[in-house]
Structure 1
Amino acid sequence: MRHRPHRSPSQALAAVLVAGSLLLAGCSGGDEEPASSETAAPSEPTASETTEPPEPTYWPLTGLERTGKAPKHPVIVTKVDNTSSSAPQVGLGSADLVVEELVEGGYTRLAAFYYSKVPASIGPVRSMRASDIGIVPDGATVVTSGAAPITVKRINGAGIPWLTEGDAGVYRETSRSAPYNLFARLGDIAKRLKAEEEPPPYLPWGTPSDLPRGGKARTLTADFGAHSTSWQFQKGGYVNTDSYAAQGDQFPADSVLVLRVRVGDAGYRDPAGYPVPETKLEGKGAALLFHGGRVVRGTWSKDGLKGPIELSTKQGELTVPAGRVWVELVPAATGNVTFAK
């Protein structure tokens, strides 16, 4: 058994006096100590504690999450030459999204989309086609070298604003030969353009985990006739192995989306006498989505030229993993798409 320590009479008296003073203090009408946090009534939560975090916002052309406010300028679509005469192409590496479309003679032209980032210069800038009515999103401005009168009339009728040579920021590069020497200072142009509202998503965006498994496909080629564009899956992305872009300025594709499209006659011929084709980006057709070294087969649909692009498989909706996408509009009747493991 443990014994308590023995107290002397003086120690006992001191203890009594201390206890008495504490009792008097508790009965005193003087200043009171605030109640301890253990016994205090719970305080109401502050506004910052009850406010829900803001909903995340996303870039419309990539589906990636955006921090900060949207740009004040609209989407700027620049028509870029895609023949060997265009080398080196400038500014493709800054594009959010690129659409490759058929032009006369079996060659192709690029529609490069800029919104989240605008390069200082882009080019060589070439002419529009009626195909662009179904490609250019609402509210966007097109930078172009112009177009045939019949195309200009249709572009204007579709309400698409455009800039060309003679407008501020569009200039001739003296070190190159015409017609491959028209360039645009997109940085300066963007400062003068004002968007009425933020654009909607260009594609149905999702995540890689949303994709069906698909089959292996580490290489692919989109054949348009006189021109073909080939891709290899390398280090998590797709590299255009026959690009005309300047070194270090190639478009870094996270995905390649192939849409098989119907092509008609635009109703006129180019200066060389070739009939000008018109891609009909409306209706529906077969789709191939290449991502992560695999391919998913599906279908695309679009309600009219200005409707959104929708994708699906037999299992339901198909979404494109957020990132930078190159869209190949390959003719269903005369074009071809091949891919391999």
Structure 2
Amino acid sequence: MGKGRTARTRRASTTVALLAATVTAALAAGCTGTHNPVDDGRGQLRTPVPTPSKSAEKTADTGSVLAVKIDNVRAARPQTGLRAADVVYAEQVEGGLSRLMAVYATQFPKSIGPVRSARESDLELLRQYDDPTLAFSGAQHKLLPLIDKAPLRAVPPEDASDAYFRGTDKAAPHNLYLHPSKLMPSAPGADALTNGFRFGAAPSGGTKETSRTVRYPSASFTFNWSARSHRWLVSMDGTPTVTTDGKRVAPATVVVQYVKVRTSRFHDVLGNNTPYTETVGSGTAQVLRGGRAYDVDWKRDNAKDGTEFTTKDGSPVNFAKGQVWVVFAKAS
């Protein structure tokens, strides 16, 4: 954690200098410019307001992950760019449905999406990454001030309209996509994955496991082990998950993490409460790798820490090299 704090201090100093230069330039230019309305992802047009802190914040820093909120209802599938993510988190949202957060560090696909709205739980989840960039489209209006105050770079369409575009393959709001290279010049690399995950040889023991299903009230995830590809083939709501390039989504490791899911203070437009997924604390999990399941414990003492996964005797648990899916399931 000392290394992370040092990196954050250096970045904070750089950001302050960049902010001062940007504000000075803006004042000298009289802050002139034209800002066209853009779709905020909720069917409403919003006019971007010039905010120097948004444009200058990461100009000299590419050492943080890119996290993208991805739509996951049937109308949004197949998704784009999901296979390139290093980590995919699955969480329950309103109405018992699911939504994904894809985290990119080692590579950027050409485009990602469909991009959808953020949730309060995302802010806690992302604290384990060092100054992450969050791409999302809209949020409950009372949540927006919390997003603005969070230690991350929040970039909705109204703050980077050139990075987002509407596709023609699906109906709105399920057709908003992101060009990641428009937000960050390059992928930061594996060192940006400050989530506590370890990779290496499998732990001893475990039980044979070839299929696992996690159910939410109105959604499900199934992972079938493929000995041929040495990957877990993903299906969502009973349908094989492929991306728009026609290829199957197949992580090397799947973590079913049992967490507390409680009601939050936020609701959607239909009045459904937004669940809050608590990712700080401790509990149990199951790690699926190599066609076997391992019962483990997880611990994350505070939001700035990564998540530790250990066997019952306290030994760290390694994941298989490749994409990791973390599915948050409600603890009994």
Q: 1:91 to 1:249 in 2, by over 3 A?
A: farther
1:9-50 per-residue CA deviation (whole Å, 9 max, x = no partner) reads xxxxxxxxxxxxxxxxxxxxxxxxxxxxxxxxxxxxxxxxxx
Q: How does 1:190-339 map to 2 (within 5 A)?
A: 190-191=184-185, 199=192, 201-209=194-202, 211-234=203-226, 235=228, 236-241=230-235, 242=239, 243=241, 245-321=243-319, 322-333=321-332
CA 1:200 to 1:97, structure 2 compared with 1: closer, same or farther past 3 Å?
Answer: closer
Match of 1:178 among 152, 157, 172: 172
The aligned amino acid for 2:331 is A
| Residue of structure 2 in register with 1:140 after alignment | 132
| RMSD of aligned alpha carbons | 2.1
Query: Which amino acid is the alignment partner of residue 155 of structure 1?
Result: I
Q: How many residues align?
A: 260
Which entry has the higher C-alpha Rg, 1 or 2? 1
Indicate the residue corresponding to 1:152 in structure 2.
Answer: 144
Structure-2 separation of matches of 1:72 and 1:156: 20
What CA distance in whole angstroms lies between the structure 1 residues aligned with 2:70 and 2:242?
A: 11
- 1:155 CA displacement: 2.2
3-state SS, counterpart of residue 142 of structure 2:
helix
Mapped contact 1:169–1:189 kept (Cα < 8 A): yes
Shift of 1:194: 9.7
Offset of 1:162 from its aligned partner? 1.3
Deviation by residue 1:160-217 (Cα, 9 ceiling, x = unmatched): 21111231311222442111111111123222x897x9535323313224x1220011
Give the distance between the partners of 1:146 and 1:263, measured in 2 at CA. 22
SS in 2 for 1:248: coil
Aligned with 1:320: secondary structure?
coil
Q: Residues 97 and 295 (structure 1 numbering): CA distance in 2 closer, same or farther, change over 3 Å?
A: same
Q: How does 1:5-84 map to 2 (within 5 A)?
A: 72=62, 74-84=64-74
Task: State how 1:69-108 maps to structure 2 within 5 Å.
Answer: 72=62, 74-108=64-98
**Over 6 Å off, 4+ runs:** none
Question: Which letter does structure 1 place at the counterpart of 2:323?
Answer: R
Percent identical pairs in the alignment equals: 29
Q: TM-score, normalised by structure 2?
A: 0.73
Q: Does 1:122 align with 2:122?
A: no
Cα shift readout 1:49-104 (whole Å, capped 9, x = no counterpart)? xxxxxxxxxxxxxxxxxxxxxx9352100000111011121110111110111111
Deviations 1:300-335 (A, max 9, x none): 1111223210111222223232321111111114xx
Residue 150 of structure 1 aligns to a residue in which SS? coil
3-state SS in 2 of match to 1:187: helix
The residue identity in structure 1 corresponding to 2:223 is W
SS in structure 2 opposite 1:208?
A: coil
CA distance in 2, matches of 1:328, 1:278: 14
In 1, are the aligned partners of 2:284 and 2:297 still within 8 Å (CA)?
yes
Measure, in 1, the Cα distance between the counterparts of 2:300 and 2:222: 26
**Equivalent position of 2:27 in the other structure:** none
Alignment partners' CA distance in 2, 1:264 and 1:181: 30
Show the counterpart of 1:60: none
Letter in 2 for 1:201: T
Residue among 176, 182, 189 paired with 1:188: 182
Within 1, Cα distance between the matches of 2:83 and 2:260? 29
